[in-house]
Structure 1
Amino acid sequence: MRFATYTAEDETYYGAITDAGAVALSPDFPQWPTLLDVVQAGELGALTAAAEGRAVTHTDFRYEMVLPNAQRILCVGVNFPDRNAEYKDGSAQPKYMSLFPRFASGFTGHDRPLIRPPENHTLDYEGEVAIVIGKGGRRIKAEDAYDHIAALTICNEGTIRDWVRHAKFNVTQGKNWDKSGSIGPWIVPFTDASQLDDARIVTRVNGEVRQDDTLNRMMFPIREEIAYISTFMTLQPGDVIVTGTPTGSGARFDPPIYLKPGDVVEIEVNGIGTLRNGIEDEVV
């Protein structure tokens, strides 16, 4: 089952996505105004049951960022062996994972444009799997980590590269330009370890494969990510963890190949789907 946040006829809904269109479910659950509320209540199963046998309500709609009111989005950086080598600094695999926050305002939805700002044109793509926490906890053991996942989705963790190092010790500025990335198209309930253990990320720009790798090659597997993050902060239902991107982002070409208006980025993850976005310049 696939659940999305979408807009139709100037109204925003959440519901199930089928091959024929969208099935609005939010009117049935006024106690949960948003899809994030459903996740926080632990009731994705109620949506699944409600969607069974229902007719499509919308065929003309626009996807929104799947959890547009997500309160905490934490990203894991440099999490594939080849990504570490890309930095050409001679460093071995780090002992601890790199982390940074992103905010919901930095993301848009499937089939919506990523926005390149006039201040800088080094907009880059990063294809990643994102997990949505369903059961909170502190100091979660790695072997129990999958029990805390509610759903999976896809992230294009778009970055303005020249702004990543504006200061000495952070990447926040380059990672949070409005609508520079996307999350979606939908969330898929997490039911089986193979959904992550056998997942493959393929990123294409204008049809050309730029990234292609499997999650089982991560330096810090998702179980370890949840264990490590929950050591210093209590994970809460609805938290999003963006788990890391493979080698092949535009900044690592020589010369770099950054995104420009007219480009189309597609990120495909087996078992989840394909997240697609064009590129447009910001209108100022």
Structure 2
Amino acid sequence: MKIAVLSGKGGTGKTLVSVNLAAAADKSLYLDCDVEEPNGHLFFKPEDVEIEEVSVVIPEVNQDLCTGCRKCVDFCRFNALAYVNDQLIVFEEICHSCGGCFMVCPENALIKKDKVIGRIERGQSGSVEVHTGILNTGEVSGIPIVAKLLTGYKDDPDVPVFIDCPPGTACIVMETVASADYCILVAEPTIFGSHNLKMVHELVTLMGKPVGVVLNKVQEGDDPSEEYCLQNDVKILGKIPYDKRLGLLNSNADIAVRVDTHYKTVFSQLLSTARKEATR
């Protein structure tokens, strides 16, 4: 079973929930697909880490073959190519590796070149296998890293997979959610939080994914995110209180279920509820 944990914005507690759910399972696989700012490894502190570089294909110019027809320049919607002073220039930093320039070049003047955009780190933390995607600073897209994360492991039906998704609703989030069996949305009890919950809920609904919500940082008083769930018939899987003790554990990069019996019970119950909902 693949459970994706999402939020409409950063800082809602998405990683808190995904890390503790993975740790609460007897055995699990944790995939950190938040490749721009992965931090699940700070909690798990995996050992025996293996590193795999992730590359994409970009063009390199054979100036002797280039005739200056500018077909590749006109094709590129990202302005990654320019013909200046009788030379074709490639701006590698903004190339999206779509491959279109190779297809339209009539002279075969473009050579395929590998460019490393990041890496995947794989290690073990107790009963949790931890895979972390890391995008190099300044790269245009982390989707190739996410795609390799989601396919670079041996699938075992007895081992649940917890996917820590990027925040928001961009294309990289859709890529991350596409193979998930169930989605858990983490939301804060604010108007801003409910707005972002609405956006990500609409996204996973559009993708046809079953979904439940975890309300985090819950306090007394109005909760716009809870109101949204009740108004739109969205299952509330559980509530996590605004608790100084949990905040301290989180800020110290401790996994709550491993050091606190109360929160081991809380997240174990949350995991049980999510599994039941996912298998309905």
Q: Same fold by TM (over 0.5)?
A: no
**TM-score normalised by the chain length of structure 2:** 0.23
Return the structure number with greater relative CO, CA threshold 8 A, min gap 6: 2
Q: Which has the higher helix share?
A: 2
**TM-score normalised by the chain length of structure 1:** 0.23
